[in-house]
Amino acid sequence: MERLNQALYSAFEQDARVHLIGEDLLDPYGGAFKVSKGLSSAYPERVLTSPVSEAAISGVAGGMALRGLLPVVEIMFGDFSTLIADQVINSLTKFRAMYNGAVDVPVVIRAPMGGRRGYGPTHSQTLEKLFLGVPGLRVLAPNTLSDPGQLLLDAILRDPGPVFFVENKLLYLKEVLGQEALAEYQVEQNTPTDSYAATTRLQIQGAPKPTLTLVAYGYMAELAREAQQRLAFEHEIFCELVAPSQLAPFGADGALDPLLLASIQRTRHLLTIEEGSYSLGWGAEVAARAAQALGPALQAVQRVAAAEAPIPASVPLERANLPGVDDIVAAARKMV
Amino acid sequence: MSADYYRQMARIRRFEETVLEQFSSGLFYGTTHTYIGQEANAVGVLSHLAEGDIVFSNHRCHGHFIAYGGDLRALFAELMGKPSGVVGGIGGSQHIHWRDFYSNGVLGSTAPVATGAALAEKVQGSGKLAVIFLGDGALGEGVLYESLNIAALWQAPILFVLEDNRIAQTTPIELNLAGDIAARFAAFGIPVAELDSSDLTEIADAAAPLFGELRSGGGPQALVLHTARFGPHSKGDDTRDEAAVARLRAERDPLTIHAATLDEAERLGIEAEVADEVAAAFAQAQADPEHQP
């Protein structure tokens, strides 16, 4: 969370065009999840605490962006991103194309997603899959394996937009893993470009040749890392973990992430892991592209995702609904 | 000025008539929403526009675009889906952008965007304002009311022009709208002027003080224009009683009304020139090359 908060400060400091719009942003509250804390005191003119009007604030940001500002929108709970769908799909992502490339729409919409806090059916969802595949929309989701602050800062200051920036609520409590924490891994990272964000690949140092690729984003990358450890030390199943921070679009030519592709080519087994509900999700698209890229060389694919039912508020029931480390371990053990 | 206003209205009328006449020839793609009968609204309101002011329009945008100063050939070419169109044939009839003019075809969706655009001008101290045209049909969309609230709260320099032609596609306003239109703006503390007229001079006069307020730093203003749509919603979908539409044409034609301020020879001269101008623009657009994907 500090990284995201610092990134907002940096963006405000570096460029006077940056504005933040959202509900309950003013100090001392500083937004429902405190990512915006302090900003309204430091930049009172540029932090606009808004009415409870998600559709309008996303559209207002679009208008500001058309006319030269760099607005960031905070949606209080990602569940409410359903309310911004028309503005995102029929306005913000359309303008550049339908106005024949004459405009940019540099808007970043930040949305906290995810469950495991007992908030119940309409405050716990992982809904970004509804926005994947919208032409012209970049969907980013930070994880603990690369710098979330840099990801956000680049989205605000460098991206012609629009960007949907997915922040898992539990990641707010996690530290970004430094060199020390990652010392036991062989780490590979891509070089992010303006059109493709950071991806990290982890493999346990000194382990035998991995036979399975785990791919996960956001908080699920954290759970997948735990699963990777347990699979290695309890079951002698060795995995590569690939954690992209860009969910859409796929690479410039529509290809799979190069680190992911190389990993699947080595292991020939792919397990996709996401917190969204099972059907028609991100994992399905990754699996389809893996199958297209590898053909018969791809030996097995499975998916771990949330149940296809509203997320209960009761924590034991919620735990059963959402994918956890045990689910990843169980799915992996069936594959190799 | 009077003759110039007449010329602008005649240009819109002749453009839209040409679109309707030629649609069956298969030269245009998609659909169209003609502005015939409402010309005085666009020309009257936009007569107060200054360089750099922003205009947001809706699906029925041809009249607004032409009154803004948009090129007839480029608009014909846009409807024909050609590279020489306003936005290269990508947007088509409802989705165009040129200079500070923007349109989008989802009713009411432009309200927050226009409000944000106006706020950006305020933040940057440009002194520019935004004008947004909405129809009575858009009053059914919730995001409009969110936008009125924000525009008023944050004092956006924007003029909401509500063109009430009393019919949304084929549904008469009695079946679409409860309550009062002007009261909707008033409820948000937005000053509102209301007029039931097809007289360009009256419309321009009603808009003048609202622009004055905005230029002197005032917040949002609203202008409710009760008007008459003579043509179908798009092409062949007019389900209204023909006699009622004929009566509207006889009683509320903005060109006939404004013609009273001109002498006959001048009016005929303008009409002939406009007919030639529109015909030439159409012919040029027709001769423009097609996309070769």
pLDDT digits (tens, 9 = 90+) for A172-206: 999 899 888 899 999 999 999 989 999 999 999 99
The DSSP symbol for A208 reads P
Domain of residue B102, residue span: 37-70+90-261
Q: Across residues B71-77, what is the average pLDDT?
A: 98
Dump pLDDT digits (tens) for B259-276.
Answer: 999 999 999 999 999 999
For residue A28, whether the previous peptide bond is cis, meaning omega lies within 30 degrees of 0, is yes
**Domain co-membership, A251 together with A322:** yes
Q: Cβ contacts of residue A216 below 8 Å, gap of 6+?
A: A223, A224, A241, A242, A243, A272, A273, A274
Contacts of residue B291 in chain A, CB cutoff 8 Å?
none
- Which of B106, B117, B124 has the CB atom closest to A63's CB atom? B117
- d(CA A119, CA A315) in angstroms, rounded, equals 9
Domain-embedded: residue B283: no
- B92-140: pLDDT as tens digits: 999 999 999 999 999 999 999 999 999 999 999 999 999 999 999 999 9
- Residue A185, strand partner residues: A204
User: Is residue A205, in this structure, part of any structural domain at all?
Assistant: yes
Q: What is the CATH number of the domain that holds A21?
A: 3.40.50.970
Residue in B closest to A103 by C-alpha: B97
Please name the residue of chain B whose CA is at the shortest distance from the CA of residue A87: B109
Nearest Cβ partner of A90 from B88, B106, B116? B106
Give the span between the Cα atoms of B29 and A316, in whole angstroms.
57
Encode pLDDT of B25-50 as tens digits: 999 999 889 999 999 999 999 999 99
Decide if B285 is inside a domain: no
**pLDDT computed for residue A179 by the predictor:** 86
> What is d(CA A156, CA A71) in angstroms, rounded to the nearest whole number?
8
Q: Do A62 and B113 touch (CB under 8 A)?
A: yes
Tokens standing for residue A268: 């020939």
Q: Residues with Cβ < 8 Å from B257, sequence gap 6 or more?
A: B40, B198, B199, B200
Mean pLDDT (whole number) for B242-263: 94
- Contact list in B for residue A64 (CB cut-off 8 A) is 116-117, 119-120, 123
- Paired with A139 in beta bridges are A164, A248
Instruction: Indicate if A168 and A219 belong to the same structural domain.
Output: no
A107, A142, A173 - which closes a domain:
A173
Domain that holds residue A132: 2-173
Q: Which residues contact B43 (CB under 8 A, 6 or more apart)?
A: B5, B8, B9, B12, B67, B200, B204
Q: B146-175, pLDDT tens digit by residue?
A: 999 999 999 999 999 999 998 888 888 999
Boundary-marking domain end, from A141, A173, A205: A173
Residue A18 belongs to some domain of the structure: yes
Q: Tell me whether residue A55 is in a domain.
A: yes
How many of the other CB atoms lie within 10 Å of CB of A255? 13
Q: Quick check: is B268 in a domain?
A: no
Contact B259, B274 (CB under 8 A): no
- Write down the residue that tokens 């009304």 correspond to: B257
Q: Domain containing A205 — which CATH number?
A: 3.40.50.920
Q: Do B87 and A98 touch (CB under 8 A)?
A: yes
The pLDDT of residue A227 is 98
Whether A50 and A112 share a structural domain? yes
Q: How many domains in chain B?
A: 1
| Token pair for A260 | 């992911």
The reply to whether A137 and A274 lie within a common domain is no
CB contact under 8 A, B149 and A68: no
Mean pLDDT of chain A: 96
Instruction: Name the nearest CA neighbour of A163 among A175, A155, A151.
Output: A155
> What is the DSSP-derived secondary structure letter of residue B171?
E
Report the distance separating Cα A62 and Cα B85, nearest Å. 24
Asked whether residue B149 is domain-assigned, the answer is yes
Check whether residue A115 and residue A26 sit in a common domain.
yes
- Asked if A97 is an interface residue toward chain B (Cβ–Cβ < 8 A), one would say yes
Each residue's pLDDT tens digit, A258-295: 999 999 999 999 999 999 999 999 999 999 999 999 99
Q: Which residues of A touch B116 (CB under 8 A)?
A: 59-67, 71
Which residues in chain A touch residue B91, judged by CB atoms under 8 angstroms apart? 98-100
Q: Does A49 touch chain B (CB under 8 A)?
A: no
Look at residue B99 and give its three-state secondary structure.
coil
Same domain for A212 and A273:
yes
Confidence of residue B280 (pLDDT cuts 50, 70, 90): very high
Q: Does A100 touch chain B (CB under 8 A)?
A: yes
- The predicted-structure confidence for A101-159, as pLDDT tens digits, reads as follows 999 999 999 999 999 999 999 999 999 999 999 999 999 999 999 999 999 999 999 99
Gap from B291 CA to chain A (nearest CA, Å): 13
d(CA B234, CA B175): 20
Whether residue B229 is contained in a domain is answered as: yes
- For residue B232, the model assigns a pLDDT of 85
* ipTM reported for the complex, 2 dp: 0.95
How many distinct structural domains can be found in chain A?
2
Among A173, A208, A241, the domain-final residue is A173
Alpha-carbon distance B272 to A35, whole Å?
64
Please provide the average confidence, as pLDDT, over all residues in chain B.
96
Quick check: is B289 in a domain? no
**Residue B45 within any structural domain of the chain:** yes
- Domain assignment present for residue A180? The answer is no
User: Which are the contacts of A155, defined by CB distance < 8 A and separation ≥ 6?
Assistant: A108, A138, A140, A163, A165
pLDDT tier, A252 (very low <50, low <70, confident <90, very high otherwise)? low
* CA terminus-to-terminus distance, chain B: 45
- The predicted-structure confidence for B168-192, as pLDDT tens digits, reads as follows 888 889 999 999 999 999 999 999 9
Beta carbons of A100 and B149 less than 8 Å apart:
no
Cβ-Cβ pairs closer than 8 A, A with B, add up to 116
- Residues of chain B contacting A67 with CB distance shorter than 8 Å: 54, 116-117, 120-121, 124
The answer on A324 and A191 residing in a single domain is yes
Question: Which pLDDT does position B185 carry in this prediction?
Answer: 98
Which of A25, A87, A96, A100 best tests the B interface by mutation, with the highest count of B CBs <10 A?
Answer: A100
Those residues with Cβ within 8 angstroms of residue A209's Cβ, 6 or more apart along the chain or in another chain: A238, A266
> Does residue A65 sit within a domain?
yes
Q: What is the mean pLDDT of residues B59-82?
A: 97
Residue A90 sits in the same domain as residue A128: yes
The pLDDT > 90 percentage for chain A reads: 93
Residue A248: band (very low, low, confident or very high) from pLDDT cuts 50, 70, 90: very high
Q: Which residues of A touch B117 (CB under 8 A)?
A: 63-64, 66-67
Whether B75 is covered by a domain: the verdict is no
Q: Are residues A200 and A145 in the same domain?
A: no
Positive or negative, the Cα torsion across A125, A1, A145, A226?
negative
Task: Please report, for the domain that includes residue B230, its CATH number.
Answer: 3.40.50.970
Residues of B in contact with A57 (CB under 8 A): 112, 150
Question: Is residue A178 included in any domain, yes or no?
Answer: no
pLDDT tier, B233 (very low <50, low <70, confident <90, very high otherwise): confident
DSSP structural state of residue A116 = S
Instruction: Give the minimum alpha-carbon distance from A335 to chain B in angstroms, rounded to a whole number.
Output: 46
Chain A residues in contact with B150 (beta carbon < 8 A):
50-51, 53, 56-57, 60
Quote the pLDDT of residue A2: 87
Buried b (16+ CB within 10 A) or exposed e, A68-106: ebbbbbbbbbbbbbebbbbbbbbbbbbbbebbbeebebb
B224: pLDDT strictly greater than 70: yes
Minimal Cβ distance to B106: which of A50, A60, A86? A86
> Would A226 be classed as within a structural domain?
yes
Domain assignment of residue A241, yes or no: yes
A293 contact B CB<8A: no
Cβ contact, residue pair B113, A53, below 8 Å: no
Mean pLDDT in residue range A51-63:
98
**Å between B166 CA and nearest CA of chain A:** 26
